[in-house]
């Protein structure tokens, strides 16, 4: 079932998400719905706060939005190390009609749990590293609008107020 995507500046997008204690049937259903929502929205990543759930869960597929060949689901993801720096031009399903340049780490190490409860430890670089950092930002209550200049943020706030 496709879920409704929360739009900036909804409060859930500014809150720090809660850790997930255990994988339940309800959580697995949310994961399936998030995957469908991400793909239908032509996204390459989606965090639970973007669909109104303030929990530490992300879905990522760097081959998207068209191919859908590298799906990863991460519960309680934690970036354990970062190196390098890259400027990334980013958009966001929760910030329609907004793009911005964001400084990201070029290479990261991530620790998380998959939906089967197995620990994931991986390194990511390039585009995948950028996507994971973007989604983990959502878990920490940060959007690309928050990472933009105050002028660009004010202009977007004015535009977004017309949608409310």
Which residues does the annotation mark as catalytic? Answer: 135
- Report residue 15: phi and psi, to 5°: -95, 150
Q: Are 48 and 5 in contact (CB under 8 A)?
A: no
- Report residue 98: phi and psi, to 5°: -130, 130
Q: Collapsing DSSP states into helix, strand and coil, what is residue 36?
A: helix
The phi-psi region of residue 76 (left if phi > 0; otherwise alpha if psi is between -120 and 50; otherwise beta) is left
| Type and span of the H or E element at 88 | strand 86-91
Record the tokens describing residue 108, joined without a space: 């990261």
Residue ranges of the alpha helices (H) in the chain?
A: 25-40, 126-139, 150-161
Q: In the beta sheet, which residues pair with residue 17?
A: none
């Amino acid at each position: 079932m496709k879920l409704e995507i929360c739009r900036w500046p909804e409060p859930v997008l500014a809150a720090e998400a809660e850790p997930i204690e255990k994988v339940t049937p309800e959580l697995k259903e949310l994961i399936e719905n998030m995957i469908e929502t991400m793909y239908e929205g032509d996204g390459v990543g989606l965090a639970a706060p973007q669909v109104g759930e303030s929990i530490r869960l992300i879905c990522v597929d760097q081959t998207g939005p068209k191919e859908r060949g590298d799906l990863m689901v991460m519960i309680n993801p934690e970036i354990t190390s970062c190196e390098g720096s890259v400027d990334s031009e980013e958009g966001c399903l929760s910030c329609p009609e907004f793009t911005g340049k964001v400084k990201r780490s070029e290479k990261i190490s991530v620790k998380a749990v998959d939906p089967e409860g197995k620990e994931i430890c991986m390194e990511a670089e390039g585009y995948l590293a950028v996507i994971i950092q973007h989604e983990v930002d959502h878990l920490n209550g940060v959007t690309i609008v928050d990472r933009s200049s105050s002028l660009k943020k004010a202009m977007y706030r004015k535009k977004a107020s017309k949608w409310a």
